[in-house]
Amino acid sequence: QVQLVESGGGLVQAGGSLRLSCAASGRTFSSYAMGWFRQAPGKEREFVAAINYSSSRQYYADSVKGRFTISRDNAKNTVYLQMNSLKPEDTAVYYCAADKKPYGGLSTAQTAYDNWGQGTQVTVSS
């Protein structure tokens, strides 16, 4: 089991930037892929980005490609999501999640992740 705590959300104007952090504890963080998902009001939770255990591979949703960057620091048990050129449609609660299996491949499916943070609100004003 792993505990995940997100931080860094807030209110930002369109075109601005935010950096989300997700601190992990309770399991060998460095062995698991990590993902970021988001849920906008009235919509289903959707995949945003994922990174494998060694940071050698990342994958992004088309809607954020070129604007968001996922990274991790295994020494600090933390995964990050740098969000640039934010748009009002990026407004959502952002969740980090840990892969079920160690040394697994990247997945966009929520069912591949078995531990979730409580979420952090990101609001982008126009």
Tens-level pLDDT at each residue, the chain (126 residues): 889 999 999 999 999 999 999 999 987 899 999 999 999 999 999 999 999 999 999 999 999 999 999 999 999 999 999 999 999 999 999 999 999 999 988 999 999 999 999 999 999 999
Rounded distance between C-alpha atoms, residue 25 and residue 13, angstroms:
32
Q: Could you tell me whether strands 10-13 and 120-125 are parallel, antiparallel, or unpaired per DSSP bridges? A: parallel
The pLDDT assigned to 104 comes to 83
Range list of β-strands (E), 14-87: 18-25, 32-39, 46-51, 58-60, 68-73, 78-83
pLDDT score at 28 = 86
**The pLDDT value given to residue 105:** 84
What is the pLDDT, as a whole number, of residue 7? 97
Q: What's the pLDDT at 116?
A: 96
